[in-house]
Amino acid sequence: MSIQTINPATGKIEKTYVEFSKEEIKNSINYAQQAYLKWKETDINQRSRLMKNAASVMKNKRDEYAYIITTEMGKPIEQAIAEVEKCAWVCEYFADNADRMLTKEKIDTDASESYVEFNPLGVILAVMPWNFPFWQVFRFAAPSLMAGNVGLLKHSSNVPMCALAIEQIFINAGFPKNVFKTLLIGSEPVKDIIKDPRIKAATLTGSEPAGRKIAEACGKELKKSVLELGGSDPFIVLDDADLDETASIAVKARLINNGQSCIASKRFIVVEKIYESFTEKFVNAMNRVKIGDPMDESVELGPIAREDLLYELDSLVKDSVSKGARILTGGKVLPGRGFYFAPTILDNLSKGMPAYDQEIFGPVASLIKAKDEEDAIRIANDSPFGLGASIWTKDIIKAKRMATEIESGCVFINGMVKSDPRLPFGGIKNSGYGRELSHYGIKEFVNIKSVWIK
């Protein structure tokens, strides 16, 4: 079996790799376990030095890594550069803060002394997606490796160049061999890898169906899992928002990463008092977006990552329209080479339409009218997902109250939803469970151990 890199901007096969054999997978797990036995004993100051080296490697080769990202999954090159820079930041953040986060916590009890300590678990399997092919990996790897775990990466099969480049970053940074290892495999071997007793936990960022499979496999083996799955994030616009600014940001919030982001805003919930005015500004701003070669620094929207995903997106839009949705702009596959879909806005939406119920992964915005802020909260929560949300208003007191009522892992007031190493990241409902980043994230893959002394 082979794994291929297909450039989504051209449809051209860039590279082909041979999948790992069962023997290679077995050996990789063996080597990872051996590496763990030494790595867990490595002083955290040494781990920190190496993690900062990894950040320096990325900074020094930023443009090279960005080129690989754009070649494999098609995001605009400026966004790819920003992704590499963010990965360097997360490495530096945990290098600087992991020691503090993992310090023994003294607890007053009836003992002479009692405390909680945080010990690494072992070999962690990371099953990662293609849409942020560096960031998704590093936001797992930086805290996990700093905690003393080692990582095995099963990356998405359409980004093998990224997967191998990430492994090489850790090698170039001076990490011991096999502390972080890429497995060039498809999805089929994952269940058996989780069964291996040396694998202590698994983390997945990906689709809801993939999350269910990982959760089932880990559940059968009584192993910890963290899942960051899909989202259909609401972008709520109240009647006192600056409509020109908000409409402009709404386009960016939907089209970031070519619309292929779990935390991209997808449902634009606008109160009826300003609905028509916002809609006009939103459509005009969407129509000004520059589409083209993602290697061009001026391009704002590149291709869909794979051909099958392009036509799946097209099918969801057509299904929604057949059920009564209205296309305000876009709504079609663009002609020519590459996997391009026109930036799209749909309205007249209702339950039962994919554009209302499902996560639409691509440059398609769902525009929904709300009677008032209470109705906007109801619509925002009328979703199986609960990853992120944003609220746009000048009334911060009202926004804070609304934030408490919205069912999601995070709420951003007057800002686009984003991940930040300093804040916990993750979702509820069908968006998954567990948290990444911050001190909450680093403690997902440790043994939280109580010690009591008389």
- In this predicted model, what pLDDT tens digit does every residue of 129-141 receive, in sequence order? 999 999 999 999 9
If one counts every other C-beta atom within 10 angstroms of the C-beta of residue 22, the result is 10
In the prediction, which pLDDT does 272 show?
98
- CB contact burial 266-295 (16+ within 10 A = b; e otherwise): bbbbbbeebbeebbebbbebbeebebbbbb
Measured distance CA(66)–CA(72) in Å, rounded: 10
Multiple choice CATH, 2-229+431-453, 1.10.3720.10, 3.40.605.10, 3.20.10.10, 3.30.1360.170: 3.40.605.10
Q: What is the DSSP letter of 259?
A: G
Give the mean pLDDT of 102-118: 98
CA–CA separation, 291 and 17 (whole Å): 31
Closest to 453 (Cα-Cα) out of 92, 70, 37, 114: 114
pLDDT at 1: 78
Q: Which fold has domain 233-413?
A: Aldehyde Dehydrogenase; Chain A, domain 2 (3.40.309)
* Residue 60 amino acid letter: N
207-242 pLDDT tens trace:
999 999 999 999 999 999 999 999 999 999 999 999
Tens digits of per-residue pLDDT, 235-269?
A: 999 999 999 999 999 999 999 999 999 999 999 99
What's the order of all strands across the beta sheet hosting 105-106?
A: 105-106, 113-120, 446-453
Task: Give the per-residue pLDDT at 320.
Answer: 98
Asked if 380 and 369 touch (Cβ cutoff 8 Å), the reply is no
Buried b vs exposed e over 93-113: b needs ≥16 C-beta within 10 Å?
bbbebbeebbeeeeeeeeeee
Rounded Cα gap, residues 396 and 412, in angstroms: 11
Average pLDDT along the chain: 98
Secondary structure (3-state) at 452: strand
Which two tokens mark 37? 């036995």
- pLDDT exceeds cutoff 90 at 418: yes
Amino acid identity of residue 251, one-letter, is: V
How far apart (Å, rounded) are the C-alpha atoms in residues 275 and 246?
12
CA distance 267 to 233: 6
Question: What pLDDT band is residue 53 in, cutting at 50, 70 and 90?
Answer: very high
Domain boundaries, the chain: 2-229+431-453, 233-413
CA distance 78 to 379: 34
Catalytic residue set:
228, 262
> 5-19: per-residue pLDDT in tens?
999 999 999 999 999
3-class SS of residue 128: coil
Residue-wise pLDDT for 289-333, tens only, equals: 999 999 999 999 999 999 999 999 999 999 999 999 999 999 999
169-192 pLDDT, tens digit per residue, is: 999 999 999 999 999 999 999 999
